[in-house]
Structure 1
Amino acid sequence: MPASAESAARTREKIHAAAVRLFTRQGYHGTGMREIAREAGVSLGNAYNHHRTKLELFEAILADYEARYTAPDTPLARALNTFEGLEDLERLGEAARQTVRRFEDYIRLIYVDVVELEGEHIRRLFGGMRRRYEEALGPRLRALQAAGELAPDVDPIAGLMTATISYFYLFNIERIFGVRRLYGCSDKQAIADIAALLRRGLEPR
């Protein structure tokens, strides 16, 4: 990469990092481009050279995070891509915990988007969740179901989505909202409790 391109890339990264700090701390509408430029240590004109508007900057940050969040090397992606049955639910829970920690700023930006911009830019991520699970896991989960490893009367894609969402909900509350030990126990025990509930439900056996 030429020196000028490297310099531009570093400046863009500084602007994005500054914007994330400010957006997650004081919201989208409470943050201006001048403030972002000052936080990044660049001129206002330089900031506008990279993004013509604050909305364009916000969208670019979300797009960058989404690309990293859906990449195949994230803890969650690895856990899903190697999922072989109900014995892997705890591993899925731990992957969700690691993913929430790694993408804490992204999750905070999602809340900013939902509260201030009516979720306009985040719908595609969750709107495509079923499709992504179907493409990555559909044949494998249906094979497990046919082999009697999964309940025959439950949609296995919906089941695994429910497991993922349950774990993410737990760790979002603990990490983003600051509610420690939501279930009154360690993270490891909470993961095990959710896994047991997903395996057996609440009906007595």
Structure 2
Amino acid sequence: MAGPYASAPAKASGAGPNADALAGTRLPHLAAAAAGLRQVLAAHAVRHCPHVVEIGGAGLPITGFLTHQPASVTVIDPKIPPHEADTLNGAPCRLRHIAAKLQQVELAPPGPYALVLLGLSLKPFGRRGAVSPELLALAGSATVLVIDYARELERAQGQIGALTATRSDAPAIDLELTINDAALRAAGFHQRHLLAYGPA
């Protein structure tokens, strides 16, 4: 689909309503309530954006944490249950959870839009790199960019620099978080860094 929404592969389309879609498929290290703090912070940061794009999010998509009434929300993750709806928070919204790799989806969000990457850990797909020029262009043009990553995750450490380099503005929010959850700690993901660029 052209225009303001993502164009997804055929296998990601045609999903029917799913009562549990907004809750996501909780991964073991995201099962505790404390893990949702990142989504709460991100939802606050994007509350003025009419269009929200999240890359990742299968374990805990931002959709169910949004408090405003966006015109569109697109979440892309190969492990997310496919879902489509035409309302969110009691208002019209083009809502899609697309089960696909980022590199398989053509994104063309209108402005102003927010780009959300919580649990940054992008992987390459075929010959296409994890941090593609298209993704960097999206990050640079986003009205709001929110990134959260585990400090000990080597993959994220290798990606955060390229993403933040797309911004000429200083982050409006720059938080070091320690989430004292046993599952997150066991996974080595309890020490985190959250950045939000754009209007506070």
Q: Same fold judged by TM-score > 0.5?
A: no
TM-score, structure 2 as length reference: 0.25
* Bigger fraction of residues in helix: 1
Larger radius of gyration: 1
The TM-score with structure 1 as length reference comes to 0.24
